[in-house]
A and B are shown apart, each in its own frame.
Chain A
Amino acid sequence: MWRGESPGPSWGPLLALVLVLTLGGLPRVGGFEEEPGGAHGASQGFQVVTFKWHHVQDPYIIALWILVASLAKIVFHLSHKVTSVVPESALLIVLGLVLGGIVWAADHIASFTLTPTVFFFYLLPPIVLDAGYFMPNRLFFGNLGTILLYAVVGTVWNAATTGLSLYGVFLSGLMGELQIGLLDFLLFGSLIAAVDPVAVLAVFEEVHVNEVLFIIVFGESLLNDAVTVVLYNVFESFVTLGGDKVTGVDCVKGIVSFFVVSLGGTLVGVVFAFLLSLVTRFTKHVRIIEPGFVFVISYLSYLTSEMLSLSAILAITFCGICCQKYVKANISEQSATTVRYTMKMLASGAETIIFMFLGISAVDPLIWTWNTAFVLLTLVFISVYRAIGVVLQTWILNRYRMVQLEPIDQVVMSYGGLRGAVAYALVVLLDENKVKEKNLFVSTTIIVVFFTVIFQGLTIKPLVQWLKVKRSEQREPKLNEKLHGRAFDHILSAIEDISGQIGHNYLRDKWSNFDRKFLSKVLMRRSAQKSRDRILNVFHELNLKDAISYVAEGERRGSLAFIRSPSTDNMVNVDFSTPRPSTVEASVSYLLRENVSAVCLDMQSLEQRRRSIRDTEDMVTHHTLQQYLYKPRQEYKHLYSRHELTPNENEKQDKEIFHRTMRKRLESFKSAKLGINQNKKAAKLYKRERAQKRRNSSIPNGKLPVESPVHNFTIKEKDLELSDPEEAPDYEAETRGGIEFLASVAKDTASDSPAGDTGSDTPLIGHSSPRGGSPAVSQQPPLPARLPRPHAPSPAPPENAAPVPAARSSREPGAGPTQGAGPERRALPAAHARSAAARRVHSRRSFQRPRARRRPALLKLASLQPPGPAELPPHALEQEETPL
């Protein structure tokens, strides 16, 4: 029967699998055949080449298995149809079954099984660490009460009811003759009761239920480890003692040991997280081994609590949860990426191996003992009691929860109670001498695991769709949402303070204060701390600055206009986008840029440096926004995902818009039949120099005129409305929302300055009259002929053509679409012909102005430039940028 499962779900890639199989199976078999040859050769004096299979056998086989599993993953993902229907874990189990069958057919021994040692020491820790390190903390702690109830009460309930019911059925004689007592049943119940983190993650990963539901099931599966460990140990020792000798004292001890094991495990995790954070604070000069600390210290927390017979899973989970904030602040950007990818790789690999070996382990006739009643009843009981337990607990919880758990959620929670490798490893650990029916337990556990992972894993997706469970939205929260979310947090904690109740928000507030005052001081680098203190003191000021730099950054990314007009130099030497020194120093790219040695042989860092010049500002702005706006106490986090590092949505979007813009421009440029001067090298050179200058030309931010940003925001918004809605609706909405809010904040601070109010309220009127915007506008028309760029889509004259009104340009935003349209058209008749896209381009360009203000400073430096790049027609730069 268990064999019968294998052909079932694997119908799709079966052929492909066979290929992989032979690839994986042959070297092993072949190895044994050739081995005598190697031994034989050794006796004939010195050999030029010897074949030493035994020498490398073990690591070789391990490596091969890993390779096979990884290759299998590639094959699975060749077909989207298969992986979207069948969960990967199920495919891997089936693959394992097939592979195990082949190995067994060849050798007639089952030499490869998932041993508890390997599982608990090497495969499980990376998965759990990954789960802890990427845990959405706010979500987790927000639902901690619920999670704990399910993890503790739910697991005990499952264990007790399953064990007792099986015992009851056993007494009725339905299972025939078995050498099992009540305690054995309870032991079995306790190991089969726990929902398995590996299986749950593997399946829920692909289902995308809403985050609350996910975190509850996922959190439960992680935290129930303590309960499982205790129940397992207690009942195992009871079984060893024998049923008669168990006293009340032992039971009390068992309950006490639960608290010791769980709290102790947590404490070990927290202590090691503290250590880890502290260590990463001082790794400034050994960047390269920074990531190593994260793994080694976390692993030590796991081993330590295992040594103290505490809950190792809890320890490493909490180690990950607690250290993530400080580690991420302390280690360099590159190290953080390394940690992320390594962790994902290890976890994903471990998971793959676990499932494959679960399948392989099942191919061993020695362990199979069949008892239909026992197996079927176990399946029924674990499903039914899980459902009952969930309903009962939810009923209690819903009286206290803000977010109610709907009946649909309960169905998914009950159905999502998957069992997995933990149960299997625990059951294999049983001592055959004490537990007489160990083999029955093992077989049943394997059936249960296969059933839950394959059958429930297969059906949970359709079920979720059918029930219309609220899905998670896979997106980065918009800046605007973040701002409001933060504001709501502050409001709620203030209201709780006023109403004098110690609630969720109150505790969160207290904790974040404590964290800021003490923990961060100890655990974070000074550079990382700086940003935190400033927010409290001068958050008004910072808000203003950030709003400005954000806008400037957005413009820079939205359009390349200012690159294209290198020698038109209407700018004031105010560089808003230049990051504050403290932030820059923290970034590695800064170091790379600064330590320019005459000869650099490290190609990677050369490449890095070249790229980082442009990227730094992106990064820094993003960083700045994250760090400086009303201090985020909790950041919204993406839903946990083991396999994917979700790319930053904003950056992706910006890049895409950028691509499209550039492509459009290029096309219309070509159609204008102009010679393309592809001086790439010069362009590159120029770009680098420009970036260099941009950095040099900064002055302190404080000196900016307060009212100008307000104008710019409103203009930007209006301009965007002109743009083609199909082009980039998301971007537009996002920018508008974000800017609008920022603008209003900026305005609040600036409301005492006379110009602030009128400007933003009535953008159209405000610019024309009181600011004397018209003179600036009138200067524009005569100029645009200056540059050799008659192609249609770059028609915004103020950019390239207004060297005189440099200082004015900040004041003339009225020249945007409303006012400026007139003069522009007159000046450039060709502009009439431009498409909606071109208009959009224009509208983007027209909010370039704040950036333009600092160009005069560049002008001075520009004299140092080689003439080539300065004279370069802008389109060459476009082409250079397009493939980016």
Chain B
Amino acid sequence: MGSRASTLLRDEELEEIKKETGFSHSQITRLYSRFTSLDKGENGTLSREDFQRIPELAINPLGDRIINAFFPEGEDQVNFRGFMRTLAHFRPIEDNEKSKDVNGPEPLNRRSNKLHFAFRLYDLDKDDKISRDELLQVLEKVDVEQKMSIRFLH
């Protein structure tokens, strides 16, 4: 399956994802194969049901909220780009990234983006009910860079 998946991913698309999310080539192909294996409808997008089929998520108290976080406002399908964009929040911040140019687009795994992601999880109806400043202030002590990062496999 892995080989089939990787062939379906076009090179230019892969490059764009790489640029946008900072994942490496091998990570993207691996995650793409995961994506296609989740995609039971085989239409290149994931629906909420696809996510809900993951057994572990069913018993995760935050499961529904996390699934919601994958879907942009008002949509109930997410394509691979969107999928990767969400996962990119959880990439650890590499040393060489810290010194990267400030002018480029803000990387998704920045502290502020990680925080924003966490914030959106708390804020279910998306009307900024928990004031953002306060959350940031409260989380100042939490080592968000570490705690909101996963070392993805290659």
Contacts and interface: CB of A to CB of B under 8 A. Distances in A.
A is bound by B = yes
Interface of A: 400-404, 478, 480-481, 484-485, 487-488, 490-501, 503-506, 509, 513, 536, 539, 630-631, 737, 740-741, 744, 747-748, 751, 757, 760-761
Contacts of B100: none
Contact of B153 (A481, A503, A513): A503
Contact of B150 (A403, A503, A631, A747): A503
Interface in B140-154: 141-142, 146-153
B142 A494 contact: no
B129 A761 contact: yes
Interface of B: 30-31, 34, 37-38, 51, 54, 56-57, 59-63, 66, 70, 87, 90, 92, 95, 118, 121-122, 124-125, 129-130, 134, 138-139, 141-142, 146-153
B4 to A, nearest CB: 16
Contacts of B150: 402, 492, 495-496, 499, 503-505
B118 A491 contact: yes
A481 B142 contact: yes
A501 B152 contact: yes
A402 B57 CA distance: 24
B95 A491 contact: no
Given A496-B150, A498-B51, A500-B37, A491 B121 contact: yes
A494 B150 CA distance: 11
Nearest to B64: A494
B57 A488 contact: no
20 contacts: A401-B151, A402-B149, A484-B118, A484-B138, A490-B66, A491-B62, A491-B66, A491-B121, A492-B147, A494-B60, A496-B150, A498-B34, A498-B51, A498-B66, A500-B37, A501-B152, A513-B59, A741-B130, A747-B129, A761-B129
A496 B61 CA distance: 15
A166 to B, nearest CB: 39
Given A494-B62, A513-B59, A741 B124 contact: no
B130 A499 contact: no
Contacts of B57: 494, 497-498
Contacts of A539: 61
Contact of B138 (A505, A631, A741): A741
A729 to B, nearest CB: 13
Interface of A is mostly: helix
A499 B34 contact: yes
Contacts of A513: 59
Given A490-B62, A498-B87, 10 more contacts: A402-B146, A481-B141, A484-B142, A490-B61, A493-B60, A499-B34, A499-B150, A501-B30, A744-B122, A757-B129
Nearest to B151: A402
Contacts of A404: 95
A670 to B, nearest CB: 40
A401 to B, nearest CB: 8
Contacts of B151: 400-402, 503
B62 A495 contact: no
Contacts of A487: 62, 118, 121-122
Contact of B54 (A402, A498, A505, A630): A498
B51 to A, nearest CB: 7
Contacts of A492: 90, 147-148, 150
A491 B67 CA distance: 10
A499 B31 contact: yes
A624 B70 CA distance: 33
Given A490-B61, A495-B66, A503-B153, A480 B54 contact: no
A735 B59 CA distance: 30
A370 to B, nearest CB: 49
Contacts of B34: 498-501
Contacts of A485: 142, 147
Contacts of B125: 751
A494 B124 contact: no
A557 B92 CA distance: 42
Contact of A495 (B90, B130, B146): B90
A798 B5 CA distance: 69
A741 B137 CA distance: 12
A736 B61 CA distance: 24
A491 B148 contact: yes
B138 A740 contact: yes
Contacts of B146: 402-403
Contacts of B92: 402
